[in-house]
Amino acid sequence: MDWRTKQNQLQGRASNNAGWLEHMNCAVSYLEENLCDADVEQAAQIVGCSGYHFQRIFSFLAGMSLAQYLRRRRLTMAAFALQEGRPVLEVALESGYESPEAFARAFKNLHGVAPSGAKEQGVSLKAWPRISFQIARRGEIELDYHIEKKEALTFFGAHTWISTENANPNTAIPAFWRQCRGDGTMDRIRKMADLPENTPLHVATYHCTDAGYDYLIGTHWNRTDSPEEYALLAVPAADWAIFPTAGLSMEEAQREIALLWSRIFTEWFPTSGYELAQAPELELHFRLEDELYQNEIWIPVRRM
């Protein structure tokens, strides 16, 4: 059954978790039929959301970016084609690469061998199977949130680009925090903002694409001048879905915030009637008494 037939069958189905996952799997069918020239907006239309929202949802469900998935699937199919004896140039072009050299680099990065070596008997290759989203039993733990309209505000701080290639955020973000803590950046930001020593700083992620995003560690900027040497980020007025955590130890808070990000995109969004709006996403950190910390994730949203 192709994705168009499946989509027609899904029209009008209630937007519960099961129906939503079926639409996601329908979008995967479209992607699989168009590995080299898939249109993100077409895939998003199948699900009923924006392309930006679809890519974020996909990355949280799949554990990899959409671009990574498509590239791995193209190169998996390319390996099968080469083992059938197809010419390298022909397979390279069919896989969406403009030159054999670019194809060879990508192929070796994934499989560890050159395309010509894929034809040899007994060679070890990697196969990334087609993804399928399954229904999981979730919701046993409530997810606290509220929707609130906020006026425009401004953040400032140190920023870096976080690539989503090869699960890079898992190492790049902690490394950036260590760098900012170790070189005195966080202390200087607090001093410029007139904050007490050891006040937790906040996070803003913005310019999100399938390749990565800008990541800022900082806090509010309430002055009219510009902070020297640091990035200034204007956050527009928006409707926000705000998800708080309870007071936790530092270690517990770090684990909880990572889990909360995943739950927002895989449990809350599918049945909320909202989708992502084009604005930075915020992660606010607060110190309570007795070395406990509270977090809030602010997601800009709009009605679908």
Domain check: are 52 and 158 in the same one? no
Q: What's 197's domain CATH number?
A: 3.20.80.10
Domain check: are 190 and 88 in the same one? no
Residue with tokens 């050159």: 114
Residue 275 has pLDDT above 90, yes or no: no
pLDDT computed for residue 140 by the predictor:
59
Residue 190 has pLDDT above 80, yes or no: yes
Quick check: is 218 in a domain? Answer: yes
Structure confidence by residue, pLDDT tens digits, 192-240: 999 998 899 999 999 887 778 899 999 999 988 888 889 999 999 999 9
Name, in order, each residue with C-beta under 8 angstroms of 214's C-beta and a sequence gap of 6 or more: 159, 160, 161, 162, 205, 206, 207
| Average pLDDT of span 274-288 | 91
pLDDT computed for residue 182 by the predictor:
96
Residue 283 has pLDDT above 60, yes or no: yes
- The residue range of the domain holding 258 is 146-303
Q: Which residue among 84, 119, 154 closes a domain?
A: 119
pLDDT computed for residue 168 by the predictor:
67
Quick check: is 134 in a domain? Answer: no
pLDDT computed for residue 7 by the predictor:
54
> What are the φ/ψ torsions at residue 45 (nearest 5 degrees)?
-65, -35
Residue 173 has pLDDT above 50, yes or no: yes
Whole-number percent of the chain with pLDDT over 90:
49
pLDDT computed for residue 111 by the predictor:
93
Domain check: are 177 and 259 in the same one? yes
Alpha-carbon gap, residue 299 to 147, rounded angstroms:
9
Q: Categorize the per-residue pLDDT at 151 as very low, low, confident or very high, splitting at 50, 70 and 90.
A: very high
pLDDT computed for residue 105 by the predictor:
93
Instruction: Report the number of distinct structural domains present in the chain.
Output: 3
Residue 167 has pLDDT above 80, yes or no: no
Quick check: is 106 in a domain? Answer: yes
pLDDT computed for residue 1 by the predictor:
52
pLDDT computed for residue 141 by the predictor:
73
Residue 2 has pLDDT above 80, yes or no: no
Domain check: are 55 and 103 in the same one? no
Between 47 and 156, the more confident residue is: 156
Domain check: are 32 and 107 in the same one? no
Domain check: are 83 and 35 in the same one? no
Structure confidence by residue, pLDDT tens digits, 76-95: 999 999 998 899 999 999 99
pLDDT computed for residue 14 by the predictor:
40
Domain check: are 179 and 240 in the same one? yes
pLDDT computed for residue 155 by the predictor:
96
Domain check: are 75 and 154 in the same one? no
| Average pLDDT of span 121-131 | 88
Among the listed ranges 26-35, 255-264, 295-304, which one has the minimum average pLDDT value? 255-264
What DSSP letter does each residue of the chain carry, written as one string? --HHHHHHHHTT---SHHHHHHHHHHHHHHHHHTTTT--HHHHHHHHTS-HHHHHHHHHHHHSS-HHHHHHHHHHHHHHHHHHTT--HHHHHHHTT-SSHHHHHHHHHHHHSS-GGGGGSTT------PPP--------SS----EEEEE--EEEEEEEEEEE-GGGTHHHHHHHHHHHHHHTTHHHHHHHHTTPPTTPPPEEEEES--SSEEEEEEEEE--SSSPPTTSEEEEE--EEEEEEE---B-HHHHHHHHHHHHHHIIIIIHHHHSEEE-SS-EEEEEEE-STT-EEEEEEEEEEE-
Domain check: are 151 and 272 in the same one? yes
Q: Categorize the per-residue pLDDT at 12 as very low, low, confident or very high, splitting at 50, 70 and 90.
A: very low
Structure confidence by residue, pLDDT tens digits, 59-81: 888 888 898 899 999 999 999 99
